[in-house]
Amino acid sequence: MRTEKEMMELILRTAKEDARIRAVYMNGSRTNPNAPKDIFQDYDIVYVVEETGSFIRDKEWIRRFGDILFMQYPDEHPDYPSDKENSYGWLMIFTDGNRLDLTVKSIEHAKENAKEDSLCKILLDKDGILPEIPEASEETYLVHRPSKEQYAAVCNEFWWCLNNIAKGLWRKEVTYAQDMLNFVVRKQLEKMLSWKIGELTDYSVSVGKSGKYMKKWLSEEEWQKYLDTYCGTDVNDMWSAVESMCLLFIDVSKWVAEHGNFVFDGQEADNSFKYFNTVKEMDENAVSIF
């Protein structure tokens, strides 16, 4: 597996030798001083170019970075619009295990957007075209203190969408219930836990994508309670996991309300949880909920 030094030398040498490439910057975990370092870290590289068309038309130029094991052209996906004249990317994993996420951006597009990511680090600027960028930091990704409206909205989304999980499990529509559990309701619990961590750290940390770093700041007991909200496809196990999710959400949202000076709507939580438990206990041939 090529070292970071070898990869960076190749990336920069390519930029220096190609007159179409006027600047290079990097973002992602490799510019984040707080990100754990391991062999899976990819190289998030942007080449700022005079035009993107010639790079897109040449299907072979990316092979200079190594033997490609498999890859993706994200801007060629038929269901997602892209602005190829201003931005085009290649996601590559090489036969030595390294991963390179490479994007070419037009000069104007890069000048307008480079500062949006606080992890951006300029590696090369041949003409001084990029704006001055502060030292790379996690600023863009920190947990931010919620407003009272945001707090209330997350609580409401959790408790309202719980009914969808309940009816899905009663109907034994496992895939529907799993989608609602993991992609809707869980996201509200994740947000609430991140706000608790924010309060504990004076909103100075990032919990990472999908809350992958939350374990650092939660107690062992609370982290285990969160893990207990995950489940397989057995319907009874799913009922239990969702119940655990509700109990944890109640505890955490009360805590955040107390420490953030928000209003916890206990009636909303009680009524939604009552509905959930009623459906859980219903006979499969029931003709009425209440």
Q: What is the pLDDT of residues 61-112, one digit of tens each?
A: 999 999 999 999 999 999 998 999 999 999 999 999 999 999 999 999 999 9
Q: In the structure, what pLDDT confidence band is assigned to residue 17 with cuts at 50, 70 and 90?
A: very high
Q: Are strands 43-49 and 99-106 parallel, antiparallel or unpaired?
A: parallel
Task: Answer whether residue 254 shows pLDDT above 90.
Answer: yes
Are 135 and 252 members of one domain?
no
CATH number, residue 193: 1.20.120.330
Task: Answer whether residue 134 shows pLDDT above 90.
Answer: no
Q: To 10 degrees, the CA torsion angle through 175, 179, 181, 186?
A: 150
Are 119 and 208 members of one domain?
no
CATH number, residue 103: 3.30.460.10
For the chain, state the CA radius of gyration. 24
**If we measure between CA atoms, which residue out of 59, 155, 44, 133 comes closest to residue 91?**
44
- Judge whether 288 lies within some domain: no
Q: Which of 140, 162, 178 is a domain's end point?
A: 140
How far apart are alpha carbons 48 and 25 in whole angstroms?
A: 8
**If we measure between CA atoms, which residue out of 180, 187, 185, 183 comes closest to residue 159?**
185
- The phi, psi pair for 104, rounded to 5°, reads -105, 135
Question: For residue 230, what is the DSSP state?
Answer: -
- Judge whether 290 lies within some domain: no
How far apart are alpha carbons 102 and 24 in whole angstroms?
A: 10
> Looking at residues 44-58, what average pLDDT do you find?
97
What domain range is 21 assigned to?
4-140
The pLDDT of residue 145: 97
pLDDT (tens digit, 9 = 90+) per residue, 177-191?
A: 999 999 999 999 999
Helix (H, G, I), strand (E, B) or coil at 168: helix
How far apart are alpha carbons 9 and 280 in whole angstroms?
A: 60
- The phi, psi pair for 27, rounded to 5°, reads -140, -170
Q: In the structure, what pLDDT confidence band is assigned to residue 34 with cuts at 50, 70 and 90?
A: confident
Are 121 and 226 members of one domain?
no
Buried-exposed string 225-264: b where 16+ CB fall within 10 A, e elsewhere: bbeebebeeebeebbebbbbbbebbbebbebbbeebebeb
Are 58 and 134 members of one domain?
yes
The pLDDT of residue 115: 85
Are 167 and 86 members of one domain?
no
State the alpha helices, DSSP H only, in the chain. Answer: 4-17, 53-57, 107-113, 148-170, 174-180, 186-200, 220-227, 235-260, 266-281
The pLDDT of residue 59: 87
pLDDT > 70 fraction of the chain, expressed in percent and rounded: 100
Are 156 and 274 members of one domain?
yes
- Judge whether 203 lies within some domain: yes
Are 153 and 268 members of one domain?
yes
How far apart are alpha carbons 115 and 141 in whole angstroms?
A: 13
Are 247 and 155 members of one domain?
yes
Are 112 and 151 members of one domain?
no
The pLDDT of residue 136: 87
Q: Which of 89, 105, 140 is a domain's end point?
A: 140
- The mean pLDDT of the chain is 96
Work out how many domains the chain is built from and give that number.
Answer: 2
Are 135 and 151 members of one domain?
no
- Judge whether 287 lies within some domain: no
Q: Which of 140, 164, 199 is a domain's end point?
A: 140
Are 227 and 170 members of one domain?
yes
**Using an 8 Å Cβ cutoff, are 96 and 1 in contact?**
yes
- Describe the crossing of helices 266-281 and 148-170 by its angle, rounded to 10 degrees: 10
> Looking at residues 122-128, what average pLDDT do you find?
96
- Judge whether 289 lies within some domain: no
**If we measure between CA atoms, which residue out of 277, 240, 279, 254 comes closest to residue 155?**
254
Are 151 and 130 members of one domain?
no
